[in-house]
A and B are shown apart, each in its own frame.
Chain A
C-alpha cells in the first residue's frame, strides 16, 4: 500500500510530495517516522535537492531523518542487487506459527528454515493482525504470537520453539535491531578515581537478501535518560586501553554501546538513537559447482578439482570434506595478489542433498599461489541422529548437492538507523 502511495506522491512531485512526509518526521511514533523516511527515500533522486534544502532549516532528529532519506536515495542507485523491502499485511486467527511463517516466506522471500519447529505435536492456532509491516516486522510479530525464539547465526535466521524474548526492538528496511542486556560497571584501579560505565548490548539482524559483508561499530547520536541527562560519551574522552587483555572485538552484528551511566534513580532511557554503518555488496563475481547433474548429487570427489573462471578470477574446488563439514577453494587472479584476494569479502552457499540449505562460515587466507578460502557449513536445523548402544561410529557425512561462491569486488557503505524510546531499566 505504501508503495502505491509513494507512486501516487511521485505524480504530485516535486512540490507536494515531500512536505506531508516531512511533517510525519516530527511524530512521536517511531514506526510512523521511519515509514516516512522510507517513503521519502522512495521518491528518488529528484527529491534530493528538496530534502537537503529542508534539512538545512530543520533541527535535531528531523534534520537527521531528512539527511538519512537523501543518503538512502543515493545508496539505492548503487545497490541494484538488493531488492526493495516488501511490505506485508496479514490477519489470521486460524493458522499455526509454521503456516503463518510459511506464508510470510512465500510472500516476501525471507530465507527462514522451519524444520526446527516441526514436531509431532499439533501446534496451536494463533491470532495475528498487522498492516503494512516490513518482512522482519511481520516475522517478529508472528514469532512473538507463536512464542518462537529468533537467533541469527552467521547471517542465517534460526528459529526455536519457546522462549520468545520481549526485548526492545527497532525495524528499518531489511534490518532489525534489538537490545539484549545492559551492564552497569565500576572499575577501581587504586591509582585514580573509580570509573563508572554503562553498556548496552545491541544486536543487528537482517533479511539474508541484504546481508552486510562488513560492519563498523554503531554510533549513538542521541541518548537521554528520563531525568534529562545525556548519556553520550564526551568525544574528548575515548576509552583508554590500558588493559592488555582488553582486546577489542571486530565490529559485528552484536555490539556494545558505550554510554555514560544514567542518573541516580533513573528508570528508563527516553531516547537511544544512532546508526550502524554496514558495507553491502555492490558488485560480485559468483560461480557455482554441482549443477551439472540434476538427477543425482555429484560425489565429493567429482567436485574436487573443478575450475570456474569469471571476471579475471580462477576459482578451483581444492578439497571437499563433507565429513569435516567443509569445502576449500583456491582463488587466484592475474591482476591480484593472493593476499589481496584473501582480504576481499566472500559469500557462500552450500546446498545438501534434497535441497537442504546450510549456514556457512568463511575464512580466507593466502598462500604463495592463491587465496585459500575455507567454507565450513552446518545444516540450518537440528538433526536427531539415531545412535544405537555400543555404536560409536560417526554418522554418515552429508552429501553436497550444490556450491556457490561469490567474491565481493566492490562494496557500498550504507547507514542503517536505529532508534529506541522509553527503554525500561527497572
Chain B
C-alpha cells in the first residue's frame, strides 16, 4: 500500500509540477487518504473528492497511472461519479448562486433581491415589515443562501410548500439536516409513540422521522428513495443498524411543478415517548435523474385505433385507442428487450397532436398476463374531442444518475 501511495504522489507531482493553492493541497491530502488503512478515512476522502468535482478530475486521472489494483478501483469509482455529476449538470438548469450584500436592510428587500436571482418561487409576503438583516453572500447556492438570511435575521423560517418556498414569520431555529449545492434535507419532526391494547402486556413502539427534501425549480428528480439507515437511542442501543435494510420510502410521479416534498420514514423500532434524546439518526436520501432515454413512437395518424413500435430496449403495442364516456383511453402492452431504469408514468407516455402539442397520460398497471409482457391502461383526460392525434411517444430512462445524500444527525434533543 505504501508503495502505491509513493507512486501516486510521484504521479501527482511529476504530472503536475505547477499544482498550487489550497485546493491542490486538499486534493493531494484526499488522494493520500483514499489509500488509508481505515475504511472511514477512505470513504470520507472519496466523498471529499466527489464534492470537489471537475477540479479533482485531472489529478485523479493522473493518479490512476501506477495505482495498485484496489486503489485503481476506488479512483475509477470516484471519477465515474464526478463524470455522472458533470453529465447531470448539463441536464439540470444552471445552479442558482446568490450574491447580495445588505447592512441593516429590510428583510423583505433582501428576499426580493434573492428572488430575482433564482427561478425557484419565494413567497415572502408574511415577512414582518420591521424585520431587518445584515448579510453578505457571494455566489452562495440557493438553499444555503436562504438558510444564511433566515439565520442572520433570526425572525423567519423557510419552508417548502409544494411549488414554492414560503418565508414564515417565526423565530429561526436551525433544523437538523444537510444542505448541498443542489439539495436540502431537513429533519422537521420526530414522533415517538407506544401503543398498548387494553388488557395486554404487549407494547408497540413506533418511531417516525419527517423530512423535508428540496431540489429547486427545474431540478426535479425522476425518482426519490429515502430510508432510515441507523438509529441509536440515548442509552447507546442501536435500534436500527446500517445492515437492517428497512423498507425505504419511495416517491415517483413527482409533479413537474414541485420543488420539494415531505418524506415520512416510519419504523416499529423506537425508543418510546419517554426518550429525551436520540444519540444518532442516519438517513439516506437518493435522487435519481435520467441521463439517457429509450424512445418509441406509435403512429396514430389518420384515426388509427392501435399500432406498435419498438426500439432496442422495448417493444410496445397499443390497442383500443378510443373514446369511452368522453375520455380518450387505450391499452398498452410493453415487452422489455434491454435494460430499463424507470417505469411507465404520466410524463413518460405522451400523446402528440398534429400541431406538436403534448398531452400527458394517466397510467395504471394491469395484471401481468405472462412473464415478458406488462399491460397498462392509459387515459388521456386533457385531450379535447376535436383534436387530431398523430402519435404516441413512450420514453423511458435507460441510464440514470443517482445522487445520494447521507444525513447523519447526532444528539437530537427531544425535550
Query: Which chain A residue has the least Cβ–Cβ distance from B192?
Result: A186
Partner of B262, one of A184, A189, A245: A245
- Return chain B residues, CB-CB under 8 Å to A184: 193-194, 273
Instruction: Evaluate whether A181 and B198 lie within 8 angstroms (CB atoms) in the complex, with A186-B193, A188-B414, A190-B189 already known.
Output: yes
Answer whether residue A185 sits at the interface, using C-beta atoms and an 8 A cutoff: yes
Answer whether residue A423 sits at the interface, using C-beta atoms and an 8 A cutoff: yes
10 more A-B residue pairs beyond the given contacts A167-B198, A179-B198, with a C-beta to C-beta distance below 8 A: A184-B193, A184-B194, A186-B192, A186-B414, A187-B190, A191-B157, A191-B173, A191-B175, A194-B415, A425-B196
Partner of B196, one of A168, A182, A189, A194: A182
- Return chain A residues, CB-CB under 8 Å to B18: none
Answer whether residue B176 sits at the interface, using C-beta atoms and an 8 A cutoff: yes
- Return chain B residues, CB-CB under 8 Å to A181: 195-198
Interchain Cβ contacts under 8 Å between A and B, 9 examples:
A183-B194, A184-B273, A188-B190, A188-B415, A189-B190, A190-B176, A190-B412, A191-B170, A425-B196
Query: Which chain A residue has the least Cβ–Cβ distance from B170?
Result: A191
- Asked if A182 and B195 make an inter-chain contact with CB atoms under 8 angstroms apart, the answer reads yes
- Asked if B175 and A185 make an inter-chain contact with CB atoms under 8 angstroms apart, the answer reads no
Instruction: Evaluate whether A424 and B415 lie within 8 angstroms (CB atoms) in the complex, with A183-B193, A186-B191, A191-B173 already known.
Output: no
- Asked if A168 and B198 make an inter-chain contact with CB atoms under 8 angstroms apart, the answer reads yes
Give a binary string over B249-271; 1 marks a CB under 8 Å from any A CB, 0 the rest.
00000000000001010000000
Answer whether residue B351 sits at the interface, using C-beta atoms and an 8 A cutoff: no
- Return chain B residues, CB-CB under 8 Å to A196: 273
- Return chain A residues, CB-CB under 8 Å to B187: 190
In the assembled complex, the Cα of A188 lies from the Cα of B190 at a distance in Å of 5
Give a binary string over B404-415; 1 marks a CB under 8 Å from any A CB, 0 the rest.
000000001111
Answer whether residue A154 sits at the interface, using C-beta atoms and an 8 A cutoff: no
In the assembled complex, the Cα of A328 lies from the Cα of B193 at a distance in Å of 43
Give a binary string over A193-229; 1 marks a CB under 8 Å from any B CB, 0 the rest.
1101000000000000000000000000000000000
Partner of B198, one of A182, A185, A190, A191: A182
Near A by CB (< 8 A), chain B positions 267-315 give 273-275
Answer whether residue B17 sits at the interface, using C-beta atoms and an 8 A cutoff: no
Number of interface residues, chain B, beta carbon within 8 A: 28
- Asked if A193 and B415 make an inter-chain contact with CB atoms under 8 angstroms apart, the answer reads yes
Answer whether residue B398 sits at the interface, using C-beta atoms and an 8 A cutoff: no
Q: How large is the interface on A (under 10, 10 to 19, 20 to 34, 35 or more residues)?
A: 20 to 34
- Return chain B residues, CB-CB under 8 Å to A379: none
Answer whether residue A80 sits at the interface, using C-beta atoms and an 8 A cutoff: no
In the assembled complex, the Cα of A194 lies from the Cα of B190 at a distance in Å of 9
- Asked if B190 and A245 make an inter-chain contact with CB atoms under 8 angstroms apart, the answer reads no
Count how many pairs of residues, one from A and one from B, have CB atoms less than 8 Å apart in the complex: 73
- Interface SS, B side: strand
In the assembled complex, the Cα of A189 lies from the Cα of B189 at a distance in Å of 4
Q: Which of A182, A188, A193, A194 has the most chain B CB atoms inside 10 A of its CB? A: A188
* Nearest Cβ on chain B to A241's Cβ, whole angstroms: 14
Answer whether residue B199 sits at the interface, using C-beta atoms and an 8 A cutoff: yes
Query: Which chain A residue has the least Cβ–Cβ distance from B413?
Result: A188
In the assembled complex, the Cα of A180 lies from the Cα of B194 at a distance in Å of 14
Answer whether residue B120 sits at the interface, using C-beta atoms and an 8 A cutoff: no
- Return chain B residues, CB-CB under 8 Å to A185: 191-194, 273
- Return chain B residues, CB-CB under 8 Å to A425: 196
Answer whether residue A166 sits at the interface, using C-beta atoms and an 8 A cutoff: yes
- Return chain A residues, CB-CB under 8 Å to B194: 183-185
- Return chain B residues, CB-CB under 8 Å to A194: 414-415
- Return chain A residues, CB-CB under 8 Å to B274: 186
- Asked if B173 and A190 make an inter-chain contact with CB atoms under 8 angstroms apart, the answer reads yes
* Nearest Cβ on chain B to A181's Cβ, whole angstroms: 5
* Nearest Cβ on chain B to A256's Cβ, whole angstroms: 11
In the assembled complex, the Cα of A182 lies from the Cα of B191 at a distance in Å of 16
- Asked if B415 and A167 make an inter-chain contact with CB atoms under 8 angstroms apart, the answer reads no
Answer whether residue B188 sits at the interface, using C-beta atoms and an 8 A cutoff: yes
* Nearest Cβ on chain A to B23's Cβ, whole angstroms: 35
Partner of B199, one of A165, A183, A186, A244: A165
In the assembled complex, the Cα of A190 lies from the Cα of B210 at a distance in Å of 12
